[in-house]
Chain A
Amino acid sequence: GQQLNQSPQSMFIQEGEDVSMNCTSSSIFNTWLWYKQDPGEGPVLLIALYKAGELTSNGRLTAQFGITRKDSFLNISASIPSDVGIYFCAGQRAVRDIFGTGTRLKVLA
């Protein structure tokens, strides 16, 4: 099935560094969502974006809804070890959302 492309696929960063990742699609979405999956758990919703150009923050996380409505970006500031996990973007559809391929983040203390 269709998946959104996320980059980078994986990344190692030092604790305290800022992190940026993005999600792109060939289709337009009216809502973008970002999830985090801790190891061995189900994904948890972090941020929802409802308007093109919107910038929304949740603690150290900031996400942006691309102006073309075909992409979204997630930034994590001052990373800490518990930020490790897989980050998924998703574009919302009426019944079945389309998920990204995921960005695996590993934080080196």
Chain B
Amino acid sequence: DQQVKQNSPSLSVQEGRISILNCDYTNSMFDYFLWYKKYPAEGPTFLISISSIKDKNEDGRFTVFLNKSAKHLSLHIVPSQPGDSAVYFCAASPSGSRLTFGEGTQLTVNP
């Protein structure tokens, strides 16, 4: 039972355009959500997070949106840069305990 799903295994965008990565979850107990970025041969690194009391959190070029009623969150990257090419994982946690990760989405930003 995959409680966190990223339905798009890959996404390709042009440099300078917006990248939108999506994530759906099923567990209503999740109240904290994170995005991680992973380059080849490296471990995932924390990117941005959002608490369920908010619907948006912004950090530079990265914005995470949370729609609790739809159990959906998305990561927007504007403008996209070739260095953003990586695998992006969304993750969710109930009350600050164990993280459940999605399958990941490979983002490719073309120059």
Q: Are chains A and B native binding partners rather than an unrelated pairing?
A: no
Residues of B bordering A, CB below 8 Å: none
Residues of A bordering B, CB below 8 Å: none
